[in-house]
Structure 1
């Protein structure tokens, strides 16, 4: 959470600062839990794409002390009480083994991901990249989630989102598109809440660095997007996830702002800002070290 941009006027941003959350996104998970009781009867949890760690904070404060919480991200994270942090790639098979080692070989009860790409403003591209990130998180989830477990991930709602709803409905008993009140109404952001994991019969998920997302799900028979020379309507029904708004209607409006007194107290961030993968390239360009080839 920056100190010099317009977010300082966001009510959820200020509330997060006052209550000690690392990011305003903490309220999104809290509101999702209020709606769906995600934290009931869970002891092994994985927070994917966790940095800066607000969701891990929420999990740490709301689960029992004997719970095992694992936070995974490529970026370094400042430690959080009762949370095991793994700095690793969620698509790498070794990451899966490290998580299972933390759980003593037992499967996870709940997997969540608040990860998103650096948006470009090109909506079709942003939605595609976000969908690929969700599929990467889903690959890891199918390898470690117990039957009946839950999965929650951030999505960008676009024109082709019903394909993802349909694919997830093969893997879970209930799939819901949820919009927490803390999520700005002007944003395409929402969260897919998947309850009751049901492994596909005859399909064993296995992570492999040389396998694409499409190849990973081959044999699972959950459907895929393709291009046909002749477009014909068939009898297959596309699944539509119900849309639910989460949070008390009397709670803070995420799009509301207020004037900030320049003399008001500012709080230093607990977690250092995340560094984008292309940061080194920008520094090299600034120093004239990048040349056209």
Structure 2
């Protein structure tokens, strides 16, 4: 089957992408690693010894960054509906965190300990219909925020990928209700044409 002009353009961009080449060189699973690296370099979210939950973790690039930065003293728990090849020191559960039974299994892994940081680079399966995809995305973001309500310690931080458009302002208000400060980040590794924007909630309110 012949590739469409759109897929050819994407492939050409991917082949020439600086962050793709850098990821291969540095041993990261995807270019998304550099989004977290840039944000962390600016906001100092990851510290040695931290306990971190990575929601929507596959293929594991954010978990890789998190584990390297929290060190052997820290722990990283990862969850995704997709399979993820093992990462040394990362505890992974495959399952759909929209299901209560999966969340129950995940929280068992946490062993009653509240997280210092929750990170979420999740995106829904794309249907191609913007309204539906936007709604799916914010539903997942809301579930991640609910997870923070239960499993993020007071004073902890939350980093989540969102998309500008319908539902963004409402979600921003939900985050402001939970955190002392909410800021937006658009790292260099996030392609200019993408509407994705990362929201960082700092200092979970008691």
TM over 0.5: yes
Q: Looking at both structures, which has the greater relative contact order when contacts are Cα pairs under 8 Å and sequence separation is at least 6?
A: 1
2:34 paired residue number: 27
Residue 61 to residue 158, structure 1, CA distance change in 2 (3 Å): same
Residue 141 of structure 1, CA deviation: 2.1
Q: What is the count of residue pairs matched by the alignment?
A: 196
Q: Distance in 1 between matches of 2:137 and 2:149?
A: 18
Say which of 3, 11, 17 aligns to 1:5.
11
Q: Normalization by structure 1: what TM-score?
A: 0.63
2:3 paired residue number: none
More helix by share: 2
2:204 paired residue number: 197
1:128 paired residue number: 135
On the 8 A contact 2:19/2:31 being kept in 1, the answer is yes
Residue 158 to residue 68, structure 1, CA distance change in 2 (3 Å): same
Q: How does 1:113-124 map to 2 (within 5 A)?
A: 113-124=120-131
Other structure's SS at 2:77 match: strand
Unaligned runs of 5+ in 2: 1-9
Unaligned runs of 5+ in 1: 200-293
Q: Distance in 1 between matches of 2:113 and 2:168?
A: 32
Q: Normalization by structure 2: what TM-score?
A: 0.88
2:69 paired residue number: 62
Structure 1 segments, 4+ long, off by >6 Å, are: none
On the 8 A contact 1:149/1:196 being kept in 2, the answer is yes
On the 8 A contact 1:90/1:140 being kept in 2, the answer is no
More strand by share: 2
Deviation by residue 1:216-243 (Cα, 9 ceiling, x = unmatched): xxxxxxxxxxxxxxxxxxxxxxxxxxxx
